[in-house]
Amino acid sequence: MEKKGRPATKPPTLKEGFYLEVRSKGSSSGVKIRRDTRADMEFAVRQYEKSKTVTYLGEVKAGRWVDGKNAGKKTK
C-alpha cells in the first residue's frame, strides 16, 4: 500500500539537547538517545555503559552542534 499525500519538503532536524549513541558490544549500528540536561545524560552514560558501548555525540543548540566531534557543524 502506498502512502497518500504530499511528501515532506522540510528536512528533519534534531531537537536541542545532549546526544549519545548506544551500541551493543561488537555491533556496527547504534541508536541515538537524547537527554535534556547534562545530569540526565551523565546518568544515562553510567546506566548503559555496563552492557553497551556508549559514545557521546555532543550537544545541539539552535540546529548546530555545540561540542563533541561535530562541534560547529549544522545538524542534518
Q: How far apart, in whole angstroms, are the C-alpha atoms of residue 75 and residue 17? A: 12
58 domain residue, yes or no = yes
Q: How far apart, in whole angstroms, are the C-alpha atoms of residue 45 and residue 20? A: 8
Mean confidence (pLDDT) of the chain: 91
42 domain residue, yes or no = yes
- pLDDT of 76 reads 78
46 domain residue, yes or no = yes
Structural domain count of the chain: 1
pTM over 0.85, yes/no: no
| Partners of 60 in beta bridges | 17, 65
Q: In this model, does residue 1 exceed pLDDT 80?
A: no
12 domain residue, yes or no = no
The arithmetic mean of pLDDT across residues 22-27, rounded, is 90
75, 64 Cβ separation under 8 angstroms: yes
Q: How far apart, in whole angstroms, are the C-alpha atoms of residue 45 and residue 9? A: 35
Expressed as residue numbers, the domain containing 40 is 17-24+31-62
